[in-house]
Chains A and B, each alone.
Chain A
Amino acid sequence: AQTVTQSQPEMSVQEAETVTLSCTYDTSESDYYLFWYKQPPSRQMILVIRQEAYKQQNATENRFSVNFQKAAKSFSLKISDSQLGDAAMYFCASFGNEKLTFGTGTRLTIIP
């Protein structure tokens, strides 16, 4: 079984600043993947970043990067140079045993 916990229901950040969204997970799988998805008001789920658990190197996609701490089962998302278009719900997710398990989400507001 997998569980994903996002302890921050809401976060806000000034435009151009940096924000970190927290996520912890638990899984009995030895082989798994971790994801951050973004859901803007349109409700389209958009893949932000993907991390393979067997890789120690933290994934990076342009302004988005993760801090993957496998032993602590922590997978936080850092957004640098925040932009108005980053405003959305962010879901952390774990894929293992053929299933994707989502956290409850963090609503990110960008302050102009």
Chain B
Amino acid sequence: GAVVSQHPSRVICKSGTSVKIECRSLDFQATTMFWYRQFPKQSLMLMATSNEGSKATYEQGVEKDKFLINHASLTLSTLTVTSAHPEDSSFYICSARGPVADTQYFGPGTRLTVL
């Protein structure tokens, strides 16, 4: 139980284009989902907290106009990287707050490469 999927697993795009990443909780409802970014050989950095039906809460230093988050249902949150640039290339991971209190279950991640 408590499975989270993420799609796509990897994406390559040209500079200036937008990319959407989907995060789904498959066997539970998640009122809260989280988006992280992980640079090579580093830890996870929280980008934003996504609550179903309301605006996302962004961490300090994260551009909310560049990283658009939508949590339209209890099982789906999306992250759209708008006008992507090479410096946005990274590994993006989502998580969902699961059925066990205060425990997050992670998706498999999306590797974004911006050319």
A residues apposed to B, CB below 8 Å: 33, 35, 37, 42-47, 50, 91, 95, 98-105
Nearest-neighbor residue (CB-CB) of A91 within chain B:
B43
Determine if B108 is an interface residue (Cβ-Cβ < 8 Å): yes
One digit per residue, 1 when the CB lies within 8 angstroms of any chain A CB and 0 when it does not, for chain B 52-75 equals 000000000000000000000000
**In the complex, per-residue mask of B76-115: 1 if CB is within 8 Å of any chain A CB, else 0:** 0000000000000001010100001111111011000000
Residues of B at under 8 Å CB distance from A? 32, 34, 38, 42-44, 46, 49, 91, 93, 95, 100-106, 108-109
Is A99's CB under 8 angstroms from B49's CB?
A: yes
Cα separation A43 to B111 with both chains bound (whole Å): 10
The CA-CA distance from A95 to B91 in the complex, in Å, is 22
B102 and A91 within 8 A (CB):
no
